[in-house]
Structure 1
Amino acid sequence: MARGQQLEVLNALDVAKTQLYHFTAIVVAGMGFFTDAYDLFSISLCTKLLGRIYYFHPDSKKPGSLPPGASSAVTGVALVGTLVGQLFFGWLGDKMGRKKVYGITLVLMVVSSLASGLSFGNRPQGVIATLCFFRFWLGFGIGGDYPLSATIMSEYANKRTRGSFISAVFAMQGFGILTSGIVAIIVSASFNHAYPAPTYEEDRAASTISQADYMWRIILMFGAVPAGLTYYWRMKMPETARYTALVARNAQKAAKDMARVLNVELDPEVEKVEKLTERSSNSFGLFSRQFVRRHGLHLLGTTSTWFLLDIAFYSQNLFQKDVLTGIGWIPPAATMSAGEELFKIARAQTLIALCSTVPGYWFTVALIDVIGRFAIQLMGFFFMTVFMLALAIPYNHWTKKAHRIGFVVMYSLTFFFSNFGPNATTFVVPAEIFPARLRSTCHGISAAAGKAGAIVGAFGFLYASQSKDPNKTDPGYPTGIGMKNSLIVLACVNALGMLFTFLVPEPKGKSLEELSGENEDENNDEDAKTTSNRTAPV
């Protein structure tokens, strides 16, 4: 596409004022992320219950707990499914179109959420295996939502507020995390009221079985509700104009769809599309030398920063209960019934989500188009590094009762700056800087790299935080030595994220075609190379 010859339909989207359809798209796409976060993070609330039910020994005076292998499998299998789904649906979204694939991912999430709560088996291993099977497919559907939601929102948005719109979709993840805690609080409080904990310790341990079996199933199945409510509206959304015009090359349909959305008259410009696509140099493939020359460093930047971020982000979120138990903020499991333990863990996680996680997302929404993606990502990685080291180096100081609140405050700040930082920007940038016909694929690859980091964090943190400590004899209890070392490693990971951020360009204020080089023709190829390889912030 020759420079300056932007199609009217795409220009109309770039300069459009904020309208109702923008907010509709945010809610419809965002509810997918609400469901994603709820499903991925609610499992951390359920693992304690699963251990009490399926690994309970009547002769033991302690509640049952999942072995590390079973715990990491239940926690991590959805992440594996998400990684596979991001690659598959990202590629499929560029081949078949965003809308055609969008409904499939939602159906998978609804069915798998319900099936997870209905997991069955005659033995503990059977129930855990069934649960892992359904959670893999749940993750597979969630994985597809990442590239499709990001791409759809970026292609609908105007260039002035595009970053805010995309990050607003992702910010719904914060509400999903918050809701998972609230639902767990309501469920546990309901069962605690209906079945008060017995007085004797033996009866307390035995009474957890029937209660806990209902609680974890209800919590997991609730994830189907928000996803199911948005299916109708997803199917009503038209295909994005950028896919229809630049990939499917159907200018007439693109103009017709966007004229209805924007409520304006648009010229289809059929001849212009044919001429521009014929002379466009932007027809290279994902594995071509030209792609590597134009976007290779960009893809390395988006994949590496997302990989490093998710090691820290998922370690913090999935094992938050272990960190808080390690410093004594949550009492030992043996002193509580199942409902009491779930209530206290959910209350702690909800408090942190409400005070730090959710505000962090919305700070990004408010400021991303003001100070830019680069500055927010660099700042976020920096402060995550600082606060992780501040927690790790004097770790023994924080475990003392008088200093626990200080630990929780600083720990919460790491959540704030991950969300007012790289957790949001790593989602936004890959949806902006790649060509339309590769946008969903490249976002899927970047997101899959993130989930690879999440898997490293989920499995690695579990074992590292339980390393041998001469003062602790319970292998299921997070030890001081292991926790301290884990926090130091996470700080180093965040520091590396700062370095790789310099490979990522600043998309603020530019159209998608400017960023991807799709408004460059063969005569401007060298200029396109110079523009696309700019990695410093503007």
Structure 2
Amino acid sequence: MASHSLTVLEALDNARTQWYHFTAIVIAGMGFFTDAYDLFCISTVSRLLGRLYYFDPSTGLPGKLPTNVNNMVTGVALGGTLAGQLVFGWLGDKLGRKKVYGLTLILMVISAILSGISFGSSAKAVIGTLCFFRFWLGFGIGGDYPLSATIMSEYANKKTRGRFIAAVFAMQGVGIIFAGLVSMTLSKIFISCSKSAPSFSEDPVLSTQPQADHLWRIVLMLGALPAILTYYWRMKMPETGRYTALVQGNAKQAAVDMGSVLDVEFQDEADKVLQFKAANSYKLLSKEFYDKHGLHLIGTMSTWFLLDIAFYSQNLTQKDILPAMGLIKKDVEINALEEVFEISRGMLVVALLGTFPGYWFTVYYIEIIGRLGIQLMGFIMMSSFMMVMAVRYENLKEDNKWLFGLLYGLTFFFANFGPNTTTFVLPAELFPTRLRSTCHAISAAAGKAGAMIGAFVVQSYTLDEKPTRIKHALMVLTFTNLLGFCCSFLLKETKGMSLEEISGEDGGRGEKKPEAVTARRSVSMQEHRNSVSLQGNHV
């Protein structure tokens, strides 16, 4: 059986935190910044699309996107993300992390630009083209999930690995903030410009159509910019040492690659690497995988699936909270550009006060509390706040608007200081190197399946905005979070352990009993005393 004494692995696990670790966080994190911007910016302009391309037949005035069209515009990228996760996750294990990593970025850049160019001679053609390109945008985004998580986990040392992976995911919060900020800034600029234009109308229900049509296109195309800026550095990253050594079986190249970016001495252990690789050659669809990791995969899939049902359903109370807090006016009171500004402002406030802090609390506490502790706490807190909102919904909506907003913000906070981050971290640590990207992709795809249920099924149930329906939905989400809490016990804590100890790739040698460790230390101390005594006698 292979030993855990491969120096390339021990060197990576015990390396001091260096500048390149932070460089890797930025390179991988910018991918997630782009992912979040591209996925969430559509929410700021979807109602604008309705005003531009759809009209109320009874009045001839600008209308809104039909429900099925709105679901396609805002949700088609989620379907693309699910498909991209499975395809690129599998390719990441077959071809290597680096080879596939650049492809996802290229696809995101091209699709973001083409989404903004979306053309057609009719509303149906424009929206159809937009949905087509946003599907492929999501496909590229999907590849970023397993690859970024896997690369960061395989570069990091075992003491700070959780913080590094969480920091990559936390860039999603920054991307959401920028989606709101960019839309706010551009809409404000266009509002100023449109007021001096001959086509400007004082009637709030009439859109300033030429300016508004430019706005949504620019917002979508700007999603390509961070991806373009990141591409060069992503291509300069060497393949991870773990993949090169344990999957390709090339210890010498692993030592060269890691030695070029980390200030650590590596040794060539070709024979040991081949033994290590041979001992971990089982496939995903095998009894050995099921015995070792079957419950872990069920755990990562189920918790991510259940979390995303709740996480992507949280918008169902937003339409009440934001107007109640004075962040959004009714659409009959403002024109199209002003509506974009106010929706973007609402998104920015929620992100700054609820979403963003939660990510970074996890970064700070994940190596203190542990992954499972944070995940269990997050599920329980989300359940508690959603239950309060369900039971007291009408009272909160009418008489306690600020408390309503606080509960809503805290739900987002504990989603991110909780399972929304840890469900991303754990699949990058629990599985063996040769299947790590694939298993992370399967887990993430289960999450996106949950996201589509939350975005379409749960929110469609509450479209008539009847309080009883929203209360029922919130109670269902409370139960969903409690189920996620229970499924978390299928997982294990990974804090402070090497990836090979966690996955069992070291043949179980890394998991030593405390008594054995104590005995070994006693023997070592005795040998040291004997050595000192002999040296004294010799002198």
**Which TM-score applies when normalising by structure 1?**
0.91
Pairing 1:393–2:391 present: yes
Aligned to 2:259: 259
- Counterpart contact for 2:323–2:329, Cα < 8 Å: no
Question: 1:277-356 to 2 correspondence within 5 Å?
Answer: 277-278=277-278, 280=279, 282-316=280-314, 321-324=318-321, 329=326, 330-356=328-354
Pairing 1:10–2:9 present: yes
SS at structure 1 position matched to 2:132: helix
Q: Which runs of 5+ in 1 are unaligned?
A: 468-477, 529-538
Question: 1:339-488 to 2 correspondence within 5 Å?
Answer: 339-400=337-398, 402-467=399-464, 478-488=465-475
Q: Give the drift of 1:262.
A: 1.5
Aligned partners of 1:519 and 1:447: how far apart in 2? Answer: 26
Q: Give the drift of 1:191.
A: 1.2
SS at structure 1 position matched to 2:206: helix
- Counterpart contact for 1:178–1:353, Cα < 8 Å: yes
Q: Give the drift of 1:200.
A: 11
What one-letter code is carried by the residue in structure 1 that aligns with 2:498? S
Q: Give the drift of 1:485.
A: 2.4
Aligned to 2:161: 162
SS at structure 2 position matched to 1:205: coil
SS at structure 2 position matched to 1:17: coil
Q: Give the drift of 1:210.
A: 2.2
What one-letter code is carried by the residue in structure 1 that aligns with 2:495? K
State which drifts further: 120-129 or 420-429: 120-129
State which drifts further: 137-146 or 256-265: 256-265
Aligned to 1:235: 235
Pairing 1:497–2:484 present: yes
Aligned to 2:51: 52
Aligned to 1:214: 214
Q: 1:376 to 1:418 in 2, by over 3 A?
A: same
- Counterpart contact for 2:11–2:265, Cα < 8 Å: no
State which drifts further: 435-444 or 263-272: 263-272
State which drifts further: 326-335 or 265-274: 326-335
Aligned to 1:172: 171
- Counterpart contact for 1:466–1:483, Cα < 8 Å: no
What one-letter code is carried by the residue in structure 2 that aligns with 1:263? D
Q: Give the drift of 1:33.
A: 0.3
- Counterpart contact for 1:53–1:208, Cα < 8 Å: no
Q: Give the drift of 1:277.
A: 3.2
Which digits, 9 at most, give the CA deviation of each residue in 1:40-84, with x for residues without a partner? 111111111011111124862864111110011111110000000
SS at structure 1 position matched to 2:204: helix
What one-letter code is carried by the residue in structure 1 that aligns with 2:225? V
Aligned partners of 1:320 and 1:257: how far apart in 2? Answer: 50
- Tell me the number of residue pairs that the alignment of Structure 1 and Structure 2 aligns: 511
Aligned partners of 2:105 and 2:276: how far apart in 1? Answer: 36
Q: 1:323 to 1:227 in 2, by over 3 A?
A: farther
Which digits, 9 at most, give the CA deviation of each residue in 1:195-230, with x for residues without a partner? 239999884333332232111111111100111100
Q: Give the drift of 1:342.
A: 1.1
Aligned partners of 1:77 and 1:257: how far apart in 2? Answer: 39
Q: Give the drift of 1:245.
A: 0.2
Aligned partners of 1:462 and 1:273: how far apart in 2? Answer: 51
**Identical residues among aligned pairs (%):** 58
Which digits, 9 at most, give the CA deviation of each residue in 1:397-436, with x for residues without a partner? 1222x52222111101101000000000000000001000
Q: Give the drift of 1:252.
A: 0.5
SS at structure 1 position matched to 2:195: coil
What one-letter code is carried by the residue in structure 1 that aligns with 2:126? V
RMSD: 2.2
**Which TM-score applies when normalising by structure 2?**
0.91
Pairing 1:272–2:272 present: yes
What one-letter code is carried by the residue in structure 2 that aligns with 1:483? I
What one-letter code is carried by the residue in structure 1 that aligns with 2:273? V
SS at structure 2 position matched to 1:83: helix
SS at structure 2 position matched to 1:333: coil
Aligned partners of 2:400 and 2:175: how far apart in 1? Answer: 30
